[in-house]
Chain A
Amino acid sequence: DAGITQSPRHKVTETGTPVTLRCHQTENHRYMYWYRQDPGHGLRLIHYSYGVKDTDKGEVSDGYSVSRSKTEDFLLTLESATSSQTSVYFCATSRGLGYTFGSGTRLTVV
């Protein structure tokens, strides 16, 4: 597997606070993705990146922003966390036809 590290693994935060999740890869993959996983919804794409400083919105991007200042790091920020953003967040990377997923970050907004 590609080396993907997500941090933190678990986080509890209060409504209205900003939160940043980090995805770090060591495989030099061009593409990176943030998904959220919720029961009954599967994995939904939040944002993705197709290169350094090249990002775009996915299907559920409202309330989220991302940044990619270098190949190995892709940050997901919740500007002002809401309870509806309680979820498990997965980062993924790809190069060509293979995809690799991180272990996930479980975020609880109280």
Chain B
Amino acid sequence: AQSVSQHNHHVILSEAASLELGCNYSYGGTVNLFWYVQYPGQHLQLLLKYFSGDPLVKGIKGFEAEFIKSKFSFNLRKPSVQWSDTAEYFCAVREGYGGATNKLIFGTGTLLAVQP
């Protein structure tokens, strides 16, 4: 079964610092990749997604992610974080073309705290 690994469980940054959150997946075939954000007390919101084409994907709120197929990675980046970016971030993978199930498998999440 495919899996998703997020190695950074808890990250603390000061405002204006740069952010990079790691995500690795195990599936060897075609994948679709997602980053979701969950602000305190809220449900999941989509930050960005990769389906095909340009491996550098830009999302909302200044986030971007780069798909590196050879490394099975899809790391999330932001050049300068703000206090409002404090949230939990989840990487997720869907098997290419969804198969019969269209299942979305999540990593364990990274809790980001941005200090003013």
The interface on chain A, measured as residues whose beta carbon lies within 8 A of the other chain's beta carbons, has a size of: 25
Q: Do A101 and B103 touch (CB < 8 A)? A: no
**In the bound complex, how far is the Cα of B46 from the Cα of A103, in angstroms?**
14
- B contact residues around A35 at 8 Å (CB): 106
- A contact residues around B9 at 8 Å (CB): 40
The residue in chain B whose Cβ has the minimal distance to the Cβ of A95 is: B102
Q: Which of B1, B49, B98, B108 contacts A41 (CB 8 A)?
A: B108
Query: Assuming A101-B43, A103-B43, is B104 touching A92 (CB within 8 A)?
Result: yes
Q: List 23 A-B contacts (CB under 8 A).
A: A31-B101, A31-B102, A33-B104, A42-B90, A42-B106, A42-B109, A43-B44, A43-B109, A44-B106, A45-B104, A50-B100, A50-B102, A56-B101, A90-B43, A90-B44, A92-B104, A97-B32, A97-B49, A97-B51, A97-B94, A97-B98, A99-B46, A99-B104
